[in-house]
């Protein structure tokens, strides 16, 4: 993302789109989760693109429940979902952001045994979320949000048997999740929860031919009008939406052409 930032007042503020921000602030009173923590989280603002603001309109809408987000590397999928989670906390739409991903390494060769307890091992998988929080938080420390139980991080295989009410769930790197794992996460959702399922199908790390990723099937299944009426959407970024760097945009575009 570009480095330029502006300060936030705590109200929902979408840089470059005053009308969208005002509309979201009007809806804020409809949420009002009973959360004893009143402190507003101050969030950094970036010069969002029109496509990113289009995503915000869907992701932060009162009626939205699930958004399947398909996009190549560098389209800020995790940053956008984390940003929305922080806005939803401020809007009192949710009381916790839950970050989940499958414990699958992004390499053709395994690192093998990692030292430390379960928390230490999983910390490596949570780094993308923690990095995005560092980018977005103006004054609040990540550790403070953990202490207040406003953010939490789990591997997907901890989900079974859970019931998540009033949560913002971010299922990251979902191209590495099977259909069964994605269904397990989505069927944990109770009242007041919403989920962002993020994936880049080009970067699957599932090595076994017997294990198939479930994201693309889910994206196609729920990208219809009937699903939209239930608050379930599919949202797609392309290589034209890459903001990480011109180099990454070129690499992804060239690889896509070669694949065809």
Q: Kindly report, residue by residue over 199-239, the tens digit of the pLDDT.
A: 999 888 775 555 567 999 999 999 999 999 999 999 999 99
Question: 5 pLDDT exceeds 50?
Answer: no
How much is the pLDDT for 84?
98
Most trustworthy range by pLDDT among 166-175, 202-211, 247-256: 166-175
Tokens of 189: 């959702």
Domains of the chain (ranges, CATH numbers): 18-259 (3.40.50.300)
CA within 13 Å, CB half, 156: 23
Share of the chain above pLDDT 90, in %: 62
Distance of alpha carbon 27 from alpha carbon 93, whole angstroms: 10
- DSSP secondary structure letters along 155-208: EGGG-TT--B-SEEEEE-SGGGSBHHHHHHHHTTB-TT-EEEEEE-GGG-----
Distance of alpha carbon 213 from alpha carbon 204, whole angstroms: 8
Most trustworthy range by pLDDT among 76-80, 89-93, 98-102: 76-80
User: For residues 84 and 60, is the Cβ–Cβ distance under 8 A?
Assistant: yes
**DSSP designation for 39:** P
Give residue-wise pLDDT tens across range 126-159. 999 999 999 999 988 899 999 999 999 988 888 8
CA within 13 Å, CB half, 178: 11
Beta bridge partners of 67: 196, 233
User: For residues 182 and 197, is the Cβ–Cβ distance under 8 A?
Assistant: yes
Distance of alpha carbon 181 from alpha carbon 163, whole angstroms: 15
Distance of alpha carbon 121 from alpha carbon 227, whole angstroms: 37
User: For residues 14 and 44, is the Cβ–Cβ distance under 8 A?
Assistant: no
User: For residues 214 and 177, is the Cβ–Cβ distance under 8 A?
Assistant: yes
Beta bridge partners of 96: 167
How much is the pLDDT for 217?
93
Strand bridging mode 66-70 / 151-155: unpaired
Distance of alpha carbon 118 from alpha carbon 97, whole angstroms: 20
How much is the pLDDT for 3?
40
The pTM (predicted TM-score) of the whole model is 0.85
Tokens of 96: 């916790």
User: For residues 156 and 171, is the Cβ–Cβ distance under 8 A?
Assistant: yes
User: For residues 197 and 66, is the Cβ–Cβ distance under 8 A?
Assistant: yes
Q: Which residue has the higher pLDDT, 242 or 209?
A: 242
Average pLDDT, the chain: 85
């Amino acid at each position: 993302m570009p480095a330029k930032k502006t300060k936030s007042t705590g109200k929902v503020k979408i840089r470059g789109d005053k009308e969208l921000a005002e509309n979201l602030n009007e809806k804020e009173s409809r949420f009002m989760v009973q959360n004893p923590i009143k402190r507003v989280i101050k969030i950094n603002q970036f010069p969002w693109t029109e496509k990113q603001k289009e995503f915000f309109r869907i992701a932060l809408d009162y009626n939205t429940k699930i958004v399947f987000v398909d996009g190549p590397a560098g389209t800020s999928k995790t940053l956008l979902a984390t940003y929305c989670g922080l806005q939803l906390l401020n809007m009192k739409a949710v009381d916790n952001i839950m970050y989940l991903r499958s414990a699958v390494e992004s390499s053709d060769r395994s690192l093998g045994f990692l030292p430390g307890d379960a928390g230490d091992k999983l910390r490596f998988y949570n780094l993308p979320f923690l990095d995005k929080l560092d980018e977005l938080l103006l004054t609040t420390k990540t550790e403070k949000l953990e202490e207040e139980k406003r953010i939490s991080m789990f591997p997907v295989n901890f989900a079974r048997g859970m019931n998540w009410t009033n949560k913002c769930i971010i299922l990251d790197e979902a191209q590495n999740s099977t259909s069964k794992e994605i269904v397990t996460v989505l069927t944990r959702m109770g009242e007041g929860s919403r989920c962002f399922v993020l994936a880049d199908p080009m970067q699957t790390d599932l090595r076994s031919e017997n294990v198939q990723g479930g994201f693309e099937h889910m994206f196609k299944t729920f990208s219809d009008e009937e699903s939209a009426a239930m608050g379930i959407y599919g949202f797609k970024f392309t290589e034209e939406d890459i903001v990480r760097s011109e180099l990454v945009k070129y690499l992804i575009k060239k690889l896509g052409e070669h694949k065809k």
